[in-house]
Amino acid sequence: MDTPEQAAAYAGVDWSEPHGKIPGYFRERFPPFAGGRVIDLGCGSADVTIRFVRAFSEVTALGVDGSEAMLAFGRRHVREAGLDSRITLEHRFLPDPALETRSFDAVICNSLLHHIADPVALWRFARICAKPGASILLVDLVRPANHETVLRLVQENAQDAGPVLQRDFVASLHAAYTVPEVREQLRAAELDGFEIDQVDELHFVAWGCADE
């Protein structure tokens, strides 16, 4: 989503329903987590980043994204939320060796996997960013069985969205992965201990801890 038109269409949507669940998904799967330094891969307009930091009072976050257009909205949202002291946003293309520090207490990622040409590389990168034993959680779309289902899901979930967002939603659903494909990615990335749950018709949650 590099164009101002795409970024504005995405940033203008109320994501309360899907994004609001993500801190809960994390808390359910990592109940001992109390806080620390978190990286949000593909943070976009920082909506998830902000929700996560608000949910965990002891968290500071670094959000990274390859789209300056999206980050412009993200910086404004962080400022308006009064979270400049707890959230930093940076323009980065992944994988970025400068982030492979094993210094993050948690890694979160929402709706980035289907944008990545080599998904296994993203899984490996997430592991290398995280401290040994750190929590990693990724949420993304599930690819429907056929185009007819794609159109139905767009109609049901983005009926009031503009044409730009609807077009991108169709493309994203076609580009997404099935749950078995994600399991194969995890095996290829040597993350066999990770688990994956399909939480609704549109989304899966994959999660686990970085190797010690």
Tens-digit pLDDT profile for residues 169-212: 999 999 999 999 999 999 999 999 999 999 999 999 999 999 86
- Asked whether the predicted pLDDT for residue 20 surpasses 90, the reply is yes
Residue 11 is predicted with a pLDDT of 59
Query: What is the sign of the dihedral through the CA atoms of 148, 44, 134 and 95?
Result: positive
User: Domain extents for the chain?
Assistant: 4-143+178-209
Kindly state the average pLDDT of the residues 59-86: 96
Q: Looking at the DSSP assignment, which residues form a beta bridge with residue 157?
A: none
Least Cα distance to 118 among 92, 94, 90 occurs for: 94
- Asked whether the predicted pLDDT for residue 51 surpasses 70, the reply is yes
CA 78 – CA 66 distance, rounded (Å): 17
- Asked whether the predicted pLDDT for residue 2 surpasses 70, the reply is no
Residue 158 is predicted with a pLDDT of 80
* Helix spans in the chain (H): 4-11, 16-19, 22-29, 47-55, 68-81, 119-129, 147-157, 163-175, 179-188
| Secondary structure class of 73 (helix, strand, coil) | helix
CA 66 to mean position of chain CA atoms? 13
Residue 161 is predicted with a pLDDT of 75
DSSP state of 165: H
Comparison of pLDDT for 5 and 89, the residue scoring more? 89
Residue 164 is predicted with a pLDDT of 82
Please give the CATH number for the structural domain made up of 4-143+178-209: 3.40.50.150
pTM of the model: 0.92
Comparison of pLDDT for 165 and 169, the residue scoring more? 169
Residue 140 is predicted with a pLDDT of 97
- Asked whether the predicted pLDDT for residue 1 surpasses 60, the reply is no
